[in-house]
Structure 1
Amino acid sequence: MEQVPEPRFTLVKVSETDWAIHDLHHPESDHRRVVCRIYDDAPTDVEVIWMRDLPLALRYPNVHEVLEAVERFQDASRATRPIPIPHRPPPTRRRDRR
């Protein structure tokens, strides 16, 4: 049976209109724990203030889409094994024939 990994990010309700996403890899006292603040700005979307330098949007339809975007970004940014490059000898130098 395959184990489901612990979630890294969680959505925390701060007030009736404000949310935050926390990175559970950092302790509560660490400033890096807060990934972003989310404000219920309009009836159709939410505004995001990023606390980290992430290349993600500033507006989303709802808070759950923000959490999904952070999780997708984290999965995509994981390092992969290097791609092997075939080794070939350098090209031979041709003499100019004039």
Structure 2
Amino acid sequence: PRKIQPKLVPTAYKFVKKREPHDISFRRVGGKAGEVDTQTNGKSIQSHYFIKFDNMTDDLLSRLRELSYACKDNTCGPKSISKQELMCEFNKVCLN
């Protein structure tokens, strides 16, 4: 049987609505899935997560932008990254 993974929770950041203060947008679906951007005007709520960090720094932003997500290709349709897949990678960066 398939091993059930424990449900992850954000560490040192939270998911927020676009209209709330946020530090970055994270492209969750499409060819640019995984893209992190601080310029969030014009970003769609349908294709992006909006994230607020407890302590956003240039170093943290740089490390988040360097992450790669092989999981985005594990779909039948468009490339996509789930919140759980994002948290798996972001939590590693935020805990170090």
| TM-score (normalizing by structure 1) | 0.36
Please state which structure has a larger fraction of its residues in helix.
2
- Between the two structures, name the one with larger relative contact order (CA 8 Å, sep ≥ 6): 2
Q: Decide which structure has the larger Cα Rg and report it.
A: 1
Please state which structure has a larger fraction of its residues in strand.
1
| TM-score (normalizing by structure 2) | 0.37
